[in-house]
């Protein structure tokens, strides 16, 4: 299925959630598929850090729904996070894994899921995440989005997508540092808290 079309379905369901997503083509696709979530989305830069960072937000803001938009390559860099989710059982964390079976951002070399033996949802279930599923169609994916956003336990859906970037989408014209401040200021405003106070050098 098309990742962009799946993103559009998920984006249509989101309002007050906070989103952490991986690097690569998914950044620009999410920027276009869910423009209303721009301030509420943290565009991560390191493989293996997306779901752990989302888990940290879920632990720190237990009243807020947190969405992790991870990738097969990213999750494979840090499978240990699945054991953490299995043990800690964050009730407000919904994890989507875009699995296109390749490291797309560096030219497309295959990930371990490409040979058909590695099942990320099965690994998650083995680590204690009971609600871990694989979706191969947009209909399945949308149903899992509805269930995952309403769940009271960690919920993972591995979305098997093609490797085709949507042509003609707008690029995100901001860098990682700027994205961090946009996201943190959004959290401060919507939560009524101070995360990063004024600089002493102002």
Residues 164-199 pLDDT 10s: 888 898 888 888 889 999 999 999 999 999 999 887
Q: How far apart are CA 93 and CA 18, in angstroms?
A: 10
Q: Output the CA angle 31-179-99, nearest 5 degrees.
A: 50
So what's the pLDDT on residue 124? 98
SS3 for 200? Answer: coil
pTM metric for this prediction: 0.95
Residues 42-61 pLDDT 10s: 987 688 999 999 999 999 99
Residues 110-168 pLDDT 10s: 889 999 999 999 999 999 999 999 999 999 999 999 999 999 999 999 999 998 888 89
Closest-CA residue to 141 (of 154, 165, 124, 158): 158
Distance set, CA 109 to CA 65, 73, 77, 104, 166 (Å): 33, 10, 15, 7, 19
């Amino acid at each position: 299925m098309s990742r962009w079309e799946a993103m559009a379905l998920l984006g249509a369901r989101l309002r007050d959630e906070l989103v952490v997503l991986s690097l690569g083509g998914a950044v620009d696709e999410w920027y276009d598929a869910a423009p209303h979530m721009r301030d509420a989305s943290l565009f991560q830069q390191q493989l293996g850090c997306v779901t752990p960072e989302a888990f940290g937000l879920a632990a720190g803001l237990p009243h807020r729904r947190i969405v992790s938009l991870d990738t097969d390559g990213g999750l494979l860099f840090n499978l240990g996070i699945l054991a953490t989710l299995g043990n800690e059982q964050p009730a407000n964390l919904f994890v989507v894994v875009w699995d296109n079976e390749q490291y797309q951002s560096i030219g497309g070399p295959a990930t371990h899921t490409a040979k058909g033996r590695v099942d990320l949802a099965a690994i998650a279930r083995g680590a204690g995440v009971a609600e871990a599923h694989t979706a191969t169609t947009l209909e399945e994916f949308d149903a899992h989005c509805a269930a995952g956003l309403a769940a009271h336990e960690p919920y993972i859906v591995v979305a098997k997508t093609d490797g085709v970037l949507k042509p003609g989408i707008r690029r995100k014209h901001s860098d990682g540092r700027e994205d961090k401040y946009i996201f943190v200021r959004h959290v401060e405003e919507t939560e009524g808290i101070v995360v990063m106070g004024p600089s002493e050098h102002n």
